[in-house]
A and B are shown apart, each in its own frame.
Chain A
Amino acid sequence: MMTNLNGIVTQGQFSFLPPLTDVQITAQIKYALGKGWAISVEYTDDPHPRNTYWEMFGAPMFDLKDPAGILMEINNCRKTFPNHYIRVMAFSSVRGVESPTMSYIVNRPKNEPGFGIVRQETDGRNIRYTIHSYATDKPEGERY
């Protein structure tokens, strides 16, 4: 397992903190809405750090004024995928930026088996290392 205090996947913002409460999530969404960013909810069950493209849970939410609507969608997603990773992303459409500006995990599986290290012996007895999530040994949808 990778060296990590809580033994959990750490990706995006706030991931070294205890899980965000709904009140804290609302405050973060409020901040993003104040900046005029569009917010979307995404989920996955493949926790590899290089897996940047998660599944979208509904379309990104444009033109919202209040966090309550987004929190409702987050809770819907939690209900549908209680044992998946769920993240909230904020997207800035400002010309020249046009990319995600915030990303944080709001839901994670109860049990995260973590990552193992895989050694591959190559030419001249060199060793190549890669990390491998134990969860991905199983097919999609059955991992957690």
Chain B
Amino acid sequence: MIAKTDKIDIQALLEESHINEVLDKLDQDLVGLVPVKQRIREIAAYLLITKARLQLGIEAAKPSLHMCFTGNPGTGKTTVAMKMADILHRLGYIRQNHVVSVTRDDLVGQYIGHTAPKTKEVIKKAMGGVLFIDEAYYLYKPENERDYGQESIEILLQTMENHRDDLVVILAGYYDRMGTFFKSNPGMSSRIAHHVDFPDYNENELLEITKLMADAMHYNLDEAAFSAMKDYIEKRKQQPHFANARSIRNALDRARLRQANRLFNDAIMHKKETTAEDLSLITEADIRASRVFEGGLNGEQVAKKP
């Protein structure tokens, strides 16, 4: 019997699980995303309290942990999924701290009878950890009624129900397309306990991300380069296929390419000396040379400058 006066030390439970470290790291590593961080904290608190309830015997069944992350590309869904796995692992809800990241290709086969073994194979690999399905809405293609995606969804649903202790499934995708996906697969929707929406980054946040990424790659951007980057972000946001942090990463990668070219030319053609500082400095010119400033992906620029 459970006495009403039975006590449990939540503080001790928290300290022993070390989830605070993960949450703090989440705060540090990820710029912006305030609502997401808030949700993750809420989920972590809920999981911790449920653990306490389980220990006291108030609760018998483990809670449903399947989640859905919605948001535009490059808003950090995969990164947060990794952190989520860490939190779940520390609280003892999953046995292995690993995330198996898959897309439609890994789950759905090309001919009859190919899908089930493929999906099962993936599920077996993810067992004990987190199965992260990116662009999950692709699994369901309403325009083709013979599509094998449905078979895969059914196997997933079955596993999500029967192996709740062994596997946590996280679905990810665009907000509106995931909405249609859930509408046509109510079984999936009802099995997902937590929906987390990832907002787009604003310009200041993107600039901060630029700095973090450059630091991580051991590059420096000077003042002028930063203001060029600011213009770049403003312009890039208006153009198609903008992918938040991923676009920033690509922009930096291309700036590195131009910087390398510039240094190479300076050293070989002009016989200039190269210092350690030069090697890690990205200048305004490296960023301003981007095609984004010339109208970007729109217009004929694409054909002329691939």
Contacts and interface: CB of A to CB of B under 8 A. Distances in A.
A67 B124 CA distance: 9
How big is chain B's contact interface, by range?
Answer: 10 to 19
B125 A72 contact: no
A48 B33 CA distance: 64
A58 B116 CA distance: 12
A22 interface: no
B98, B163, B166 pick with most chain A CB within 10 angstroms: B166
A72 B126 CA distance: 13
Contacts of B123: 69
B127 interface: yes
A27 B127 CA distance: 15
Which of B95, B123, B124 is most buried by chain A, counting CB atoms within 10 A of its CB?
A: B124
Contacts, number: 38
Interface residues of A, number: 12
Contacts of A72: 124, 127, 163
B101 interface: no
Contacts of A63: 125
Interface string A73-112: 1000000000000000000000000000000000000000
A20 interface: no
A58 B126 CA distance: 17
B125 A65 contact: yes
Contacts of A61: 124
A48 to B, nearest CB: 31
How would you classify the secondary structure of chain B's contact residues: helix, strand, loop or mixed?
loop
A67 B125 CA distance: 10
B96 A65 contact: yes
B76 interface: no
A127 interface: no
Contacts of B117: 58
A70 interface: yes
Interface in A37-78: 58, 61, 63-70, 72-73
A68 B98 contact: no
Nearest to A63: B125
A67 B98 CA distance: 14
B109 interface: no
A64 B163 contact: no
A65 B163 contact: no
Nearest to A73: B124
Interface string B145-171: 000000000000000000100110000
B95 A66 contact: yes
B129 interface: yes
B118 to A, nearest CB: 12
Contacts of A66: 95-96, 127-129, 166
B166 A64 contact: no
Q: Which of A58, A61, A65, A73 is the most central at the interface, judged by chain B CB atoms within 10 Å of its CB? A: A65
B47 to A, nearest CB: 20
Nearest to A62: B125
Interface in B96-144: 96, 98, 117, 123-129
Contacts of B125: 63-65, 69
B113 to A, nearest CB: 14
A65 B98 contact: yes
Contacts of B124: 61, 64, 69-70, 72-73
Contacts of B96: 65-66
B82 to A, nearest CB: 15
Contacts of A64: 124-125, 127
A67 B128 contact: yes
Contacts of A58: 117
Interface of A: 58, 61, 63-70, 72-73
16 contacts: A58-B117, A64-B124, A65-B128, A65-B129, A66-B95, A66-B96, A66-B129, A66-B166, A67-B128, A68-B128, A68-B166, A68-B167, A69-B124, A69-B166, A72-B163, A73-B124
Given A65-B129, A72-B124, 11 more contacts: A65-B125, A65-B127, A66-B96, A66-B127, A66-B128, A67-B128, A68-B95, A68-B163, A69-B123, A69-B126, A69-B128
**Which 6 pairs show the lowest CB-CB distances between chains A and B?**
A66-B128, A69-B124, A69-B127, A68-B166, A68-B127, A66-B127
